[in-house]
């Protein structure tokens, strides 16, 4: 065995990780794909470095490059990765193996996939110290138990003897974190560790990571596409664009005084508090991200940059320029010192607020129960899952009603019932005064079907991969019996492409030739093909990148304004909900716990769940002060909901309710001022005393 160089050689005031001019390529049969180019960044001991950028910009490749885990076709082409002064890129496999897991640990996106399904959690944890410090099995299991308690999992004894599938997503991610911490590594790499989790669960994990980082003095490389999250966790940030670092520096400095046009554009495209769909709409970044092998000459961001200057920006590769008088702030922009960074964006157009008309859709006491059988082998008693519990609301013409809630709260079931894909168990759905509650979609007349349409979450699954875009839209028109002749339908199809701002030439393209945002536009075009009056958008932008999100959201809003469509916008992302909706409905375990106008819901008095939800959403604005309320535990299973108030297992206000009302009785709906509804036992006095969760700091 090769001797491992002793740690003493490393001076803790030196960087723990120093990446210099790193280039990584993937070699495919067709060509070399340069995924990362000339990337440099430095992480000091105890520091947390955030790595942000759009999908495909090379964040994960950098992380895996540090781990030297690039698969068969990936290779470090040039540059060095120094960990504690030693170059990882030139280390032998055996040396590398001693560093992996003990000095550098990695956590990635999907917790379920990163745990071995056939091994007990405890065994997977205990393996690490047994391997790296030759600990005995008993001692290792004891340590595993301690660390499991450290990551604040309830009942550690049960958990270490469980298999991964017996834990919830949040618990699994905590186990993955525990596994990374078993050997007390000096560097922790987290690749989108919370993307698969709900916001309230995410908030808990983020707090845990921060706290453990401080406790053990671990340095972190935190990868995320969520700027708010990076602000919460990190000290420093590195913004990546198309394989390069374009700006790096202290988080506050980069957020408040960004010196790169891409960073600026990114911030302008995310819905921060204060953005408004009419007065201050989001600005999307025009154009598309270049593929790694199709990068433009000169500055990679050139074709999409507002400050682009011909002859300069496209002349030669742009190096990193240090920003003077700053905390190691650097930018990859030639013109950074010429640009007026305080000027307001030029092309922000103020839009007219849509008028809200008569009631289009009305639901009363809607219930949807599913009955499922118990055991895995089909035995056991039948159970009832109450997916939706007495839903009542109405939606008006031209209105955007947002439905928010975490996974399993019944959002999608509700959408299915409305669409007629499922029939309600009881209650009524009135659509233009016609009761469609128990009419499944096959029996609805085409008129009703074309009036209610849906935009789905995942633009990748909903298009037929073997049919051109134009053909798919024409199919929808045929189904809705639109137009008399093929020519007429063809014209309408082209109009629809105009409507969703896609070039008409796209009619001939196949879905695989489109980007995610473009596919989602086709989905929207299809939904509006029959002149839909009500459109249900189920997380329409959550699979898209921030810069594209803005464009797709604005598109939806524009079409709505024009057609006076009622939009039911289902989402878990409160920032975007605040930005675009008129009214908000908050759901938890099948119950509507709060409903009101956007202003009512986003300001106190809150329902205790809404309060926690709001406080959990990371906001990428240094001037916002957020009260942290971290919910304990996970969302209970819909199969086995708690008695009384659905939220009682995690509610921090419960003690304010006299007696054990919360545990025994389902709270009534209280109607506060302005028709604001809250389903809670708290008295009006207590509700009135609630403080806002989000405050703008005094300048």
Partner 1 sequence: MGLFVLRRLGVMLLTAIALTFVVFYLTNLQPNLEKLARTEGSVRMTEEAVQDWIAQNGHSGSVFLRYGQWLGVVPGWTYTDEKGQMRGRCFAIGQDAAAAPDYCGLLQGNWGFSTFFKTPVMASLGDKLAATGWLMLAVMLVMVPTSLILGVLSGMREGSATDRTLSTFSIASTATPEYVSGVVLVALFATAATGISPILAEYGLIEPKKTLFLASATSAMDDITFWNFTLPVMTIALYGIGYIARMTRASMTEVMTQQYIRTARLKGVPFRTVVMRHALRNALIAPFTVIMLQFPWLLNGVVIVESLFNYKGFGWTLVQAASNNDIPLLLACSVVAVVVVLLTQLISDIGYVFLNPRIRLA
Ligand X SMILES: Nc1ncnc2c1ncn2[C@@H]1O[C@H](COP(=O)(O)OP(=O)(O)OP(=O)(O)O)[C@@H](O)[C@H]1O
Residue 618 CB, nearest approach to ligand X (Å): 17
Tell the smallest beta-carbon distance from residue 258 to partner 1 (Å). Answer: 34
**Residue 55 sits in the site that holds ligand X (CB under 6 A):** yes
List the one residue from 2, 73, 116, 637 that touches partner 1 (CB under 8 A): 116
By the rule CB under 6 A, 35 interacts with ligand X:
yes
Q: Is 243 among the residues that bind ligand SF4 (CB under 6 A)?
A: no
Burial of 363 (0-12, 13-18, 19+ CB in 10 A): buried
φ/ψ (deg, to 5) at 540: -70, -20
- Supply 592's token pair: 């509507």
Q: Is 58 in the site for ligand X (CB under 6 A)?
A: yes
Of the residues 18, 38, 47, 127, which one makes contact with partner 1 according to CB under 8 A:
127
* Contacts of residue 60, Cβ cutoff 8 Å, sequence gap at least 6: 108, 191, 223
Query: Which uninterrupted H or E stretch holds 34?
Result: strand 32-43
Cα angle 302-306-308, degrees, rounded to a multiple of 5: 45
* Pairwise CA distance, residues 594 & 645, whole Å: 13
Which residue, 285 or 318, is less far from ligand SF4 as judged by CB? 318
542 bridge partner residues: none
Is position 10 an interface residue for ligand X (rule: CB under 6 A)? no
Buried-state track 391-428, b at ≥16 Cβ within 10 A, e below 16: bebbbbbbbbbbbbbbebbbbbbbbbbbbbebbbbebe
Cα(219)–Cα(269) distance, integer angstroms: 30
Picked from partner 1, ligand SF4, ligand X, none, the partner binding residue 335 (CB below 5 to 8 A depending on kind) is ligand SF4
Q: Are 124 and 143 in contact (CB under 8 A)?
A: no
Is residue 132 part of the contact set for partner 1 (CB under 8 A)?
yes
Nearest CB to ligand SF4, comparing residues 228 and 667: 667
Instruction: Please report how close the Cβ of residue 193 comes to partner 1 at its closest, in angstroms.
Output: 13
Q: Is 245 in the site for ligand SF4 (CB under 6 A)?
A: no
- Asked if residue 285 binds ligand SF4 (CB under 6 A), the reply is no
DSSP 641: P
Residues with Cβ within 8 Å of residue 271, at least 6 apart in sequence: 282, 550, 575, 576, 578, 579, 580
- Using the rule CB under 6 A, which residue among 222, 267, 289, 307 binds ligand SF4? 307
Q: Which of residues 551-580 bind ligand X (CB under 6 A)?
A: none
| Near ligand SF4 by CB under 6 A: residue from 667, 676, 677, 693 | 667
234 φ, ψ to 5°? -105, 160
45-78 burial, b at 16+ Cβ within 10 Å, e below that, comes to bbbbbbbbbbebbbbbbbbbbbbbebeeebebee
396 binds, among ligand SF4, ligand X, Mg ion, none (CB under 5 to 8 A by kind): none
Cα–Cα distance for residue pair 617/612, rounded to 1 Å? 9
Q: Which of residues 50-109 bind Mg ion (CB under 5 A)?
A: 60
Smallest gap, in angstroms, from Cβ of residue 59 to ligand X? 3
Q: Which is nearer to ligand SF4, 414 or 653 (CB)?
A: 653
Work out whether 331 is an interface residue with Mg ion (CB under 5 A). Answer: no
Candidate list 156, 292, 410, 540; residue touching ligand X; CB under 6 A: 292
Q: Which helix (H) or strand (E) holds 86?
A: strand 86-87
The H-or-E segment that residue 455 falls in is strand 452-455
240 interacts with ligand SF4 by CB under 6 A: no
Of 53-61, 332-340, 438-446, 468-476, the window that binds ligand X (rule: CB under 6 A) is 53-61
With CB under 5 to 8 Å by kind, the binding choice for 28 among ligand X, Mg ion, partner 1, none is ligand X
Nearer Cβ to ligand X, position 260 or 591? 260
Q: Restricting to residues 185-244, which ones interact with ligand X according to CB under 6 A?
A: 225
According to the binding rule CB under 5 A, does residue 566 interact with Mg ion? no
Cβ 305 to ligand SF4, closest distance in Å?
A: 3
Structure tokens at 39: 């990337």
Pick from Mg ion, ligand X, ligand SF4, none: which does 645 bind, CB < 5 to 8 A by kind? ligand SF4
Residue 450 near residue 480 (C-beta atoms within 8 A): yes
Question: Tokens for 205?
Answer: 């994990």
Order of strands, edge to edge, in the sheet holding 669-671? Answer: 452-455, 534-538, 566-571, 400-404, 583-588, 591-597, 677-679, 669-671
Q: Classify residue 398 as left (phi > 0), alpha (psi -120 to 50) or beta.
A: left
Q: Which does 127 bind (CB under 5 to 8 A by kind): ligand SF4, Mg ion, partner 1, none?
A: partner 1
Interface residue with ligand X among 6, 71, 319, 378 (CB under 6 A) is: 71
In sequence order, the 6+-apart residues with CB closer than 8 A to the CB of 153 are 159, 171, 174, 175, 178
CB of 667 to ligand X, least distance (A): 41
The H or E element spanning position 105 is strand 104-107
571 binds Mg ion (CB under 5 A): no
Tokens describing residue 380 = 């056991």
547 binds ligand X per the rule CB under 6 A? no
Q: Give the residues across from 569 on adjacent strands.
A: 402, 537
Q: Which does 225 bind (CB under 5 to 8 A by kind): Mg ion, ligand X, ligand SF4, none?
A: ligand X
Q: Is 9 helix (H, G, I), strand (E, B) or coil?
A: helix
Beta strands in 320-358 (DSSP E): 321-322, 330-331
Bridge partner list, 118: none
State yes or no: residue 99 binds partner 1 (CB under 8 A). yes
In the region spanning residues 369 to 428, those forming contacts with partner 1, defined by CB under 8 A, are 375-377, 379
Asked whether the beta carbons of 383 and 375 are under 8 A apart, the reply is no
* Contact partner at residue 281 from partner 1, ligand SF4, ligand X, none, CB < 5 to 8 Å by partner kind: none
Please choose, out of 1-9, 352-360, 522-530, 647-655, the segment that lies near ligand SF4 by the rule CB under 6 A. Answer: 647-655
Quick check: 305 binds ligand SF4 (CB under 6 A)? Answer: yes
Q: Taking CB under 8 A as the rule, which mask of x and - marks residues 38-77 in contact with partner 1?
A: -----------------------------x-x--x-----
Q: Site mask, ligand SF4, residues 566-605, x = CB under 6 A? A: ----------------------------------------
**Residue 697 DSSP label:** P
Three-state DSSP class for residue 654 = helix
Residue 566's DSSP bridge partners are: 534
Binding site for ligand X (CB under 6 A): 26, 28, 33, 35, 53, 55-61, 71, 73-74, 225, 292
Binding site for partner 1 (CB under 8 A): 67, 69, 72, 97-102, 105-106, 108, 110, 113-119, 127-128, 131-132, 163, 165-166, 176, 179, 375-377, 379
Binding site for ligand SF4 (CB under 6 A): 261, 299, 301-302, 305, 307-308, 313, 318, 333-335, 608, 645, 647-648, 651, 653-654, 657, 662, 667, 680-682
Binding site for Mg ion (CB under 5 A): 60
């Amino acid at each position: 065995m090769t001797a491992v160089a002793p740690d003493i050689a490393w001076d803790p005031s030196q960087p723990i990780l120093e990446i210099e001019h790193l280039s990584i390529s993937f070699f495919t049969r067709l060509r070399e794909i340069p995924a990362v180019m000339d990337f440099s960044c430095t992480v000091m001991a105890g520091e947390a470095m955030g790595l942000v950028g759009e999908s495909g910009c090379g964040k994960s490749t950098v992380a895996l490059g540090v781990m030297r885990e690039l698969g068969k076709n990936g290779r470090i082409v040039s540059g060095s990765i120094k960990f504690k002064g030693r170059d990882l890129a030139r280390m032998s496999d055996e040396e590398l193996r001693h560093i992996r897991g003990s000095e550098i640990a990695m956590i990635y996106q999907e917790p379920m996939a990163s745990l071995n399904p056939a091994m007990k959690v405890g065994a997977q944890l205990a393996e690490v110290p047994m391997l790296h410090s030759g600990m005995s099995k008993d001692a290792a299991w004891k340590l595993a138990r301690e660390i499991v308690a450290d990551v604040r999992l309830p009942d550690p004894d049960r958990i270490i003897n469980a298999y991964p599938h017996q834990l919830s997503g949040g618990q699994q991610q905590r186990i993955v974190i525990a596994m990374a911490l078993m050997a007390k590594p000096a560097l922790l790499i987290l690749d989108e560790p919370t993307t698969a989790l709900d916001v309230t669960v995410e908030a808990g994990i983020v707090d845990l990571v921060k706290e453990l980082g401080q406790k053990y003095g671990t340095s972190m490389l935190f990868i995320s596409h969520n700027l708010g999250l990076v602000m919460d966790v990190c000290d420093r940030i590195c913004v990546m664009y198309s394989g390069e670092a374009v700006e790096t520096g202290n988080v506050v400095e980069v957020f408040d005084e960004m010196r790169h046009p891409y960073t600026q554009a990114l911030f302008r495209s995310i819905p921060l508090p204060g953005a408004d769909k009419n007065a201050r709409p989001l600005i999307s970044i025009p154009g598309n991200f270049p593929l790694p092998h199709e990068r433009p000459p000169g500055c990679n961001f050139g074709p999409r940059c507002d400050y682009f200057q011909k002859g300069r920006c496209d002349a030669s590769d742009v190096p990193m320029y240090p920003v003077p008088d700053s905390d190691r702030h650097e930018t990859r922009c030639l013109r950074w010192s010429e640009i007026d960074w305080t000027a307001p964006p030029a092309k922000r157009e103020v839009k007219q607020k849509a008028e809200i008309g008569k009631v289009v859709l009305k639901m009363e006491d809607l219930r949807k129960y599913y009955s499922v059988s118990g055991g895995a082998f089909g035995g056991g008693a039948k159970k009832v899952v109450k997916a939706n519990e007495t839903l009542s609301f109405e939606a008006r013409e031209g209105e955007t009603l947002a439905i928010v809630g975490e996974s399993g709260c019944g959002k999608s079931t509700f959408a299915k019932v409305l669409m007629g894909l499922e029939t309600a168990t009881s209650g009524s759905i009135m659509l233009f005064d016609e009761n469609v509650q128990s009419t499944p979609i096959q029996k609805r007349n085409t008129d009703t079907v074309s009036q209610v349409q849906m935009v789905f979450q995942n633009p990748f699954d909903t298009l037929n991969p073997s049919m051109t875009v134009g053909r798919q839209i024409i199919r929808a028109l045929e189904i809705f019996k639109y137009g008399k002749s093929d020519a007429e339908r063809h014209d309408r199809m082209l109009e629809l492409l105009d409507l969703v701002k896609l070039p008409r030439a796209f009619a001939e393209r196949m879905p695989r030739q489109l980007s995610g945002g473009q596919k989602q536009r086709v989905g929207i075009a299809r939904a509006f093909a029959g002149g839909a009056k009500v459109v249900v958008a189920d997380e329409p932008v959550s699979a898209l990148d921030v810069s594209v999100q803005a464009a797709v959201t604005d598109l939806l809003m524009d079409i709505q304004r024009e057609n006076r469509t009622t939009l039911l916008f289902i989402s878990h992302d409160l920032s975007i909900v605040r930005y675009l909706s008129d009214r908000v409905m908050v759901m938890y375990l099948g119950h509507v716990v709060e409903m009101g106008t956007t202003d009512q819901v986003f300001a106190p008095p809150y329902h205790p769940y809404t309060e926690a939800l709001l406080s959990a959403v990371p906001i990428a604005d240094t001037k916002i002060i957020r009260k942290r309320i971290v919910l304990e535990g996970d969302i209970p299973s819909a199969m086995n909901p708690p008695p009384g108030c659905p939220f009682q297992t995690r509610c921090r206000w419960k003690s304010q309710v006299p007696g054990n009302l919360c545990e025994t009785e389902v709270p009534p709906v209280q109607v506060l001022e302005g028709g604001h509804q809250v389903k809670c036992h708290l008295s009006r006095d207590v509700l009135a005393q609630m403080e806002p969760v989000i405050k703008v700091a005094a300048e």
